[in-house]
Amino acid sequence: MIEMIAALIGGVLYGLLIGIIPAAGATTGLVALFGVISYFAHEPYLGVVFLMAVVAASTTGDSFTAILLGIPGANSAAATMVDGFPLAQQGRASYAISAAVTTSTVNGLLWGCLVFLLLPWYTSLLMVLGIPELWAFTVLALATVGFVSTRFWFRSLCAIALGIFLGMVGVDPNTNEPRYTLGWFYLEDSIQIMPVVAGLFAIPELVNGLLTKSRTATIVKSEVLEGMRVVWQNRWLGLRGGFIGAFIGLLPGLGGAMADWMAYGSAVAANPKERFGNGNIKGVIGPEGANNAQKATSMIPTVLFGIPGASFAAVLMSLFMYLNFELGTPDIALDTEFFTSMTFGFLGATILVAFLCIFLIKPISYITSVPYKYYFPVLLTLIVWTAMQYTGGWEDLAMLAIFSALGFFCKYYKFSRPALLIGFILSDKIEKLSIQMLALYDVDSLITRPIFLILVLCILGIFTYSFIKKGKIDYA
């Protein structure tokens, strides 16, 4: 038991560190473990505890830099940043972080427990939701872009169009020929997410802070308890975000960022009279739980079928293979120690991280009163390291530079960066699912699918609603 706790603590500390590194996230943190995972070869169940703790801790930790510095710790934390960072600028960093950590913890624990109750029904669910339903869910996520657009509606449209275009760079799935690569072979593998997130969000905020010789804010007062209280007051909002994240996690391959933006969009839609993007705590509570819930439920397709529920799950699955756990086989379903270790690692880390974060909120929040010049070199180094995890070559740096320039442009001319990111993340998925759907279904067969039809109606409704209510948030 002592060894399991030690593995848990090790995973939590490493996961928190990875979560805090700008733009890195659980996937990057797990990739960095390939060189050392064999050290658990003789104690594989400890490895499971350690890895699950890394996932849980990094998922909560990524909120810190998003809220404190306006730099998402992972692409999936970008939604939390939209309202969390303005709160920090107003001197209410501890309030925002406390609310974020509380929401993350509640949803992490809730869905971490429910995952095991859901297992018997999962196969049936998976058989009902086919390619048309996955397509509709993804388009539904794209529809949320209306809720993150700024009052500059046309510029937001341009941003999403650019995001969709950038997401299509690579190889045309229809013709298998390079598309929009300008003859640069590097781009045939498409544009990687890390330089996009780091360039759009991290670098502009860092450089802006440095040039203005400013600090984010001065802490007005510590509001840890107030942060917890406001989560209770908005409990249904937080739970709805968790539900959205959990559902997206169950559907293989859709990814965490999509869940966060859907949850953020639902928070905005549910509060039509309120402004977002300027420090509305509901904009933190809404999306923050989605990420943790998604991480928990995406383990179901990963473990039961050996089909990763998200990109982090694909890497996790390989790490488990190195520990001799073959996911998706009958053997693993009968390995109770494996499930116990997974549960202990995920739930234990969620609780431990909550205590650590609540304890650390006050001291960490004071980073907002430290001038940028002191941590600029450290963060810049970490951002460059993250962006270079793809090939490690100059091309990665070039992409970071290009997206940093784009990030500056969007920030100062109010082209919605969240809209651009959503378009970028979803365009590839929507295109490929559209190709699959059109190849396998015709109109006659689609209209016999009730879930698909309901989702299409939701999409139409959300598009119409967001068009009428355009210009919701202040963050660009």
Partner 1 sequence: MLKILTTLAVLLGFSTTAVADYTFIVPQKPGGGTSVWAQIVATEMEKYLDEKIVIKHIRGARDIPGFNKFHNELQNDPKTIMVSHGGNGVSFLNEKVDYNYADYESVGLMNLNIIVASRKDHNPYGANKTAFAAGSGMIPEGIAMTLLKCGSGLTTEQYIDCFKRKVNWVKGMSGGERRLAFKRGELNGTRENPAAFKKHVQPTIDKGVAGLWFHHGILQADGTHADDPNYPGYQMEKLFYAANRTAPEGDLYAAYKLVKSFRDGMQKALWVGKNNPNKAKLIAALKQVATNPESAGAVEKKVGKYQWLIGEAGDAHRDTLMKLITPEALSTLVRFNNEAFGIKAVYKDTLLAQK
Contact status: 337 vs partner 1 (CB under 8 A): no
* Candidate residues 164, 202, 231, 317; the one interacting with partner 1 per rule CB under 8 A: 317
Quick check: 276 binds partner 1 (CB under 8 A)? no
The reply to whether 321 sits near partner 1 by the rule CB under 8 A is: yes
Coil/strand/helix, residue 205: helix
Where do we find the tokens 């974060």?
A: 357
Segment lying near partner 1 (by CB under 8 A), choices 31-39, 79-87, 154-162, 399-407: 31-39
Residue type at position 104: S
What φ, ψ does residue 15 adopt, rounded to 5°?
A: -65, -40
Binding mask 230-259 for partner 1 (x = CB under 8 A): ----------------------xx------
Among residues 217 and 316, whose Cβ is nearest to partner 1? 316
Residue 170 interacts with partner 1 (CB under 8 A): yes or no: yes
Residue 322 interacts with partner 1 (CB under 8 A)?
Answer: yes
Tell me: does residue 35 bind partner 1 (CB under 8 A): yes
- To partner 1, the closest distance from the beta carbon of 418 in angstroms equals 26
One residue of 161, 314, 397, 402 binding partner 1 per CB under 8 A: 314
* DSSP-derived secondary structure letter, 219: -
Give the torsion through C-alpha atoms of 110, 111, 112, 114, to 10 deg: 90
DSSP-assigned states of every residue in 64-90: HHHHHHS--SSGGGHHHHHHHHHHHHT
- Near partner 1 by CB under 8 A, which window of 96-104, 106-114, 127-135, 259-267? 127-135
Helix-helix angle 450-468:256-270, to 10 degrees: 60
Beta carbons within 10 angstroms of residue 17's beta carbon: 16
Beta bridge partners of 179: 170
84-123: contacts with partner 1 (CB under 8 A):
none
**CB neighbour burial string for 39-57, b if at least 16 within 10 angstroms, e if fewer:** ebeeebbbbbbbbbbbbbb
Write down the least CB distance from residue 332 to partner 1, Å. Answer: 10
Neighbours of 133 (CB within 10 A): 18
First to last CA, the chain: 48
Figure out which of the listed residues 114, 119, 173, 465 binds partner 1, where binding follows CB under 8 A: 173
Q: Which residues bind partner 1 (CB under 8 A)?
A: 2-3, 6-7, 10, 14, 31-36, 38-41, 43, 46, 126-127, 130-131, 170-171, 173-177, 185-186, 188-189, 252-253, 305-308, 314-315, 317-318, 321-322, 324, 326, 328-330, 390-391, 431-433, 435-436, 439-440
